[in-house]
Amino acid sequence: MSVIRMRLCAAVLALSSSLALGAAPEPAPAPASQPTVEEQRLDRAAPQEILRRGGFADAAPEFARALRAAGSYVEARRVVVRHGARLWERAVGRVQGRVPVADGELSRDDDRPLYWARLAMTRELRALDAEFELTEERREALLGELERASRGQDDIRYPDRGERKVLLTGFDPFTLDRDVRISNPSGAAALALDGTYVRTADGRRARVEVAVFPVRWQDFADGAVERALRAQLPRVDAFTTVSQGRVGRFDVERFNGAWRGGFPDNVNVSRTETVPVSDPATQPQWTRTTLPYERIVAADTGPFPVYDNTEVTEIPAGASEPVKRPDGPTEGSTARAGGGGDYLSNEIAYRATLLRDRLGLHELPGGHVHTPVLQFGAGNTDPASGTVTDPEFVRNRLAIVSQVRGIVSVAAAGR
């Protein structure tokens, strides 16, 4: 028998023995996956212009080169964490004036370069055909690392100097199939306030730390909010989740409901169901704000009116049809919409305040603030023919961000 035939027979016998003993085969490398619906929007003209004029067009190519050079999963993880954190730091630095903005670039207050650069990087990671073993589970773990690092969720740090501590969250842009140019003022506010200080009415300084969240139902069901906030809430003096809400007004949402209303998210997935949380047997239908809403409404925080919004939609106890209630939920009712609606803005408020209560932090000031809708200027409202920015659009975003800062100053003083 030739040496080659002997080796072949030995290999077959070894494989047969392992199967007979029930040994599990080595996991097969996962093939590169297709871009998500969210990532596919990158190829449109407006996102490419935002990346180019925002100065972030190089982020994904540099990340891809570093990924391809990684010789192992451990090295790839280091690349992911390093580049994700660098993207976040670069975005915050740009908004806060530490990164130069060249002539012809977008104004420095813009949140969109971060959003599109992150998607360009996740698309590169999803498409990686690695030389090392990269299972689907490992690829998903790397995507999670990239998401958390590039959203500031791993960068929440409060210096131990006896200052008050405030946590703020923002969101990505959304409704992008309606207008792919859209910006989210809550995300812009998060970038502008991260690591900064505000002065409370009684003269104390408060440190603001932030995190930004995706507009995707599944991330919330997977516990993204609780994972980011659980260790932080016991440390802070106040928190506020922020999202874009109604035209021309701010709202402090008094009540949050345990219901998902089904509006499509950024990957065009709908969910109509009770908000999925751990220990659903003890899940309340409603949570409520502990923010000092009366003082926030009364304070001169900026040009937009601020409302204490108490309206909800419920199915009353013993009934079967939903009704609107202007003054909050009634006893034993089932939630169908909080003051902030039945989308992810309501859900982040519900999850954060439920977490507050489950941690026994019932007196911790916390809740949700809706900003005005950020609108493009007159003559620039058509997505098909409009430009990615205009002077009125920038002025509106700056005004909203400034007023969020004012509201945070009031919230930071406590109840």
The pTM of the full predicted model, rounded to 2 decimals, is 0.91
Task: State the pLDDT at residue 29.
Answer: 56
Cβ-Cβ contacts under 8 Å for 66 (sequence gap 6 or more): 79, 82, 83
Q: Please give the backbone phi and psi of residue 210, each rounded to the nearest 5 degrees, phi first.
A: -135, 165
Task: State the pLDDT at residue 24.
Answer: 47
State how far the alpha carbon of 27 is from the alpha carbons of 23, 24, 75, 138, 395, in Å.
12, 8, 20, 11, 54
Task: State the pLDDT at residue 397.
Answer: 98
Cβ-Cβ contacts under 8 Å for 220 (sequence gap 6 or more): 213, 275, 344, 347, 348, 351
Task: State the pLDDT at residue 6.
Answer: 38
**C-alpha torsion angle, residues 397, 399, 402, 406 (rounded to 10):** -130
Contact of 247 with 321, CB cutoff 8 Å: no
Q: Quick one: CA dihedral 264, 270, 273, 278, positive or negative?
A: negative
Task: State the pLDDT at residue 1.
Answer: 42
Separation of CA 229 from chain center: 12
Mean pLDDT in consecutive groups of 10 residues from the start of the chain, 415 residues: 41 41 50 89 98 98 97 97 98 96 95 98 96 94 98 94 94 98 98 97 93 98 98 97 98 98 98 98 98 97 98 98 98 97 98 98 98 97 97 98 98 88
Task: State the pLDDT at residue 22.
Answer: 45
Contact of 313 with 337, CB cutoff 8 Å: yes
CA distance linking residue 362 with residue 346, whole number of Å:
19
Domains along the chain with CATH numbers: 30-150 (no CATH), 164-412 (3.40.630.20)
Task: State the pLDDT at residue 161.
Answer: 82
